[in-house]
Structure formats: C-alpha cells, structure tokens
C-alpha cells in the first residue's frame, strides 16, 4: 500500500525552497508540539514507530497540505484518541 510519505524518486515536486536564517520553530505551538512528542514517547504512551505510522496514515491530501509540525500534531492527537487517552470532544473543548 503506497503511503504519501514515501516520496523518494517521485517526480513533479518543485524546486527546493530555502528560508534564510530560519528559526528552529516558526511559532511557539510548534516548539510545544516538538517537546510534547518527546515527553509522551518518554512516558511510553506510544513509541517512535507508532508516531511515524500515524503521520503516514494522514490522508494524502492532508499530508501534503500540512506543515511539518501540523503533521506531528495531527499524528499525536490521532494516536491519543485511538488509545483512549483523550476524546475528540475533549480536544474540541467540550
């Protein structure tokens, strides 16, 4: 089954876009997602392979349209919902 992350050799993508003096994170929330992922894996709520799997299972259009840390956040929430740690309703603030 082809997954959207497996892009090695795929044709049609544009020139590589570069940002001069790029910061590690473009917004605070990205930094929080990065640190949160490490903390949750450290606590054993899921492992790194499950995390990569969850990113890969994002629908292809969502995968391509999402920024790097948006992909991470979607993957983390889908894992936590699937494992019954949080619910969609709770995440929505209900």
Partner 1 sequence: MGERFGPGDRVRASRTDPAHHTRIPRYVRGAVGTVVEPEGRHPLPDLSSRRLPAEPEPVYAVQFSARELFGAGDHTVTVALWESYLESAGAGTRAEEL
Partner 2 sequence: MSGDHDGPAATIAAQVRRLEELLEQRGLVDPEEVDGRLAAFLTRASPANGARVVARAWRDEAFRGRLLADANAALPELGLSMGGGLQDQRLTVVENTKDRHNVIVCTLCSCYPLALLGPSPTWYKSEAYRSRVVRDPRAVLREFGFELDPGVRVSVWDASAESRYMVLPRRPAGTEDADEQALAAHVTRNGLIGVAPV
Q: Can residue 56 be called a binding residue for partner 1 (CB under 8 A)?
A: yes
Q: Can residue 70 be called a binding residue for partner 1 (CB under 8 A)?
A: no
Residues in contact with 54: Cβ distance below 8 Å, sequence separation at least 6, in sequence order: 46, 75, 76, 78, 79
Residues 66, 4: Cα–Cα separation, whole Å: 12
How many beta carbons lie within 10 A of that of residue 41, not counting itself? 15
Q: Scan residues 34-63 and list those touching partner 2 (CB under 8 A).
A: 34-36, 38-43, 45, 48, 52, 55
Residues 80, 85: Cα–Cα separation, whole Å: 5
DSSP code of residue 88: H
Return the structure tokens found at 58. 């994002």
Q: Can residue 64 be called a binding residue for partner 2 (CB under 8 A)?
A: yes
| Given 50, 57, 77, 78, the residue binding partner 2 (CB under 8 A) | 77
Q: Scan residues 5-34 and list those touching partner 2 (CB under 8 A).
A: 5-11, 13-19, 22, 24-25, 27-29, 31-34
* Interacting residues toward partner 2 by CB under 8 A: 5-11, 13-19, 22, 24-25, 27-29, 31-36, 38-43, 45, 48, 52, 55, 64, 68, 70, 73, 76-77, 80, 85-86, 90-91, 93
């Amino acid at each position: 089954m082809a997954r959207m992350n497996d892009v090695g050799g795929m044709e049609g993508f544009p020139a590589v876009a570069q940002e001069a003096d790029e910061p590690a994170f473009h917004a605070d929330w990205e930094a929080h997602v990065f640190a949160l992922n490490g903390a949750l894996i450290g606590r054993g709520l899921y492992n790194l392979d499950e995390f990569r799997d969850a990113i890969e299972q994002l629908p292809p259009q969502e995968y391509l349209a999402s920024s790097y840390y948006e992909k991470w956040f979607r993957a983390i929430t889908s894992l936590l919902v699937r494992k019954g740690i949080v619910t969609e309703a709770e995440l929505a603030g209900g």
